[in-house]
Chain A
């Protein structure tokens, strides 16, 4: 076992891990952040998506020890109860949530997209979401939710990065 210092949602945490432990297991079992979901555990479904230094990563196939010293953002780092980000609000308004299991992964990936590109096209949204699977919604409500945020970005110019804080 080794001690690794992780920055999770802006707070430094020291965790004891084995080299093969995944970031997903450490987040859920040691840190107690249960918003990041465990689906396939093979990098296929995106339910476990977190941001590492701003880029979306499947935490089920990423070693916790490899995240040492880097900024890890989970769904909990994007939500405050009652104070949703624009993409979270758009999921609620647009019916992007059914069972909700895939939702944290989709929100995290779309947050990364909207930070880079506040006004993505439908194609850019589809492309960004190719690693996230939803078995309930048929995707259209999710894509519409992202387009709602994109449309709001064009009508009220906001600086990149302020969109999905």
Chain B
């Protein structure tokens, strides 16, 4: 198998234009190398992008932008992410072990589009916009436009994910990520959920709610019905029950090696309740620390 380790974005885009389907982009390789080892893929050429310096930065000029090769370790440790996008930092810190996090990247997690990809729920609730480039031009897609199905995205063979932009976080807004696996470490999730919640000035009524789930269908998704069940409420028990039910109805649950569909159905409302409570607590704590 050929291997091209490239140093600049232009070189990568030229290689992808030349090779098309025969190329496989290699970032941290934590998915690609496992797939190669299992014989699931057999590309002609690996196009290695880890050393393309311009792709790895996490910057915050007005809004937060993550380069495609930002690693899970760098995301979990970034002050900008920890301050405003705690759910994303928590998700990155839950991907495999330290060895997986030191090389695994956000671009790889998105492009691989696993039904259990942990970074996708936080990216969905934060309205992430993905920048794609090819030798013939650039375009942007929202993360939900990019995801097209189980392990499939709208990223063409000659395109590279170059960066991910996050929507700014306004006042009285907080997020949370809750992942349930069979054990606490090194587990692919049974359910992974992110919530982004905004309260009104009295800090009682929900003005915006965003909920996204992974491992509950062929691909990660935003659950708009459950969101609508929370907006305008004071997060009373009835509202939470309605949102939990809407979430369960929207999920396409299956029995697999990790859990049964019935177990997932019972779990979903509890995980939602936990994440919502965490968001509300963070908003309250922040306002108390300001006064």
Contact = CB atoms under 8 A, between A and B. Distances in A.
Interface stretch (B10-18, B25-33, B124-132, B274-282): B25-33
26 contacts: A2-B2, A18-B1, A19-B46, A20-B46, A42-B34, A44-B186, A46-B97, A46-B99, A56-B99, A56-B102, A58-B99, A58-B100, A60-B37, A63-B26, A63-B46, A63-B48, A66-B29, A68-B5, A126-B185, A128-B98, A130-B97, A130-B98, A130-B185, A131-B97, A131-B98, A131-B186
Taking residues whose C-beta sits less than 8 angstroms from the other chain, chain A's interface range is: 20 to 34
A22 interface: yes
Contacts of B97: 46, 129-132
Interface of A: 2, 17-20, 22, 41-44, 46, 49, 52, 55-58, 60-63, 65-66, 68, 109, 112, 126-132
Taking residues whose C-beta sits less than 8 angstroms from the other chain, chain B's interface range is: 20 to 34
Given A43-B100, A55-B102, A66-B50, 11 more contacts: A18-B3, A19-B2, A42-B34, A55-B103, A60-B33, A65-B5, A127-B185, A129-B98, A130-B97, A130-B185, A131-B100
Contacts of B46: 19-20, 63, 65
Contacts of B33: 22, 43, 60-63
A66 B96 contact: no
Q: Which of B29, B45, B97 has the most CB of A within 10 A?
A: B97
Q: Which of B26, B46, B97, B99 has the most CB of A within 10 A?
A: B99
Contacts of A55: 73, 102-103
A61 B186 contact: no
A46 B103 CA distance: 14
A58 B31 CA distance: 12
Contacts of A49: 99
Given A57-B103, A62-B29, A63-B48, A109 B98 contact: yes
A46 B101 CA distance: 13
B36 A20 contact: yes
Nearest to B184: A130
Interface in B175-204: 185-186
A19 B45 contact: yes
A162 to B, nearest CB: 22
Interface string B28-68: 01100110110000000110101000000000000000000
B276 to A, nearest CB: 26
A20 to B, nearest CB: 4
B37 A65 contact: no
A147 to B, nearest CB: 18
Given A66-B48, A66-B50, A130-B186, A61 B98 contact: no
Contacts of A19: 1-3, 45-46
Nearest to A58: B99
Q: Which of A42, A52, A61 has the most CB of B within 10 A?
A: A61
Contacts of A62: 29, 33, 103
Contact of B37 (A56, A61, A66): A61
Nearest to A63: B29
Contacts of A68: 5
Interface in B65-105: 73, 96-100, 102-103
A130 B97 CA distance: 5
B147 to A, nearest CB: 24
A44 B96 CA distance: 8
Contacts of A128: 98
B1 A20 contact: yes
A129 B186 CA distance: 10
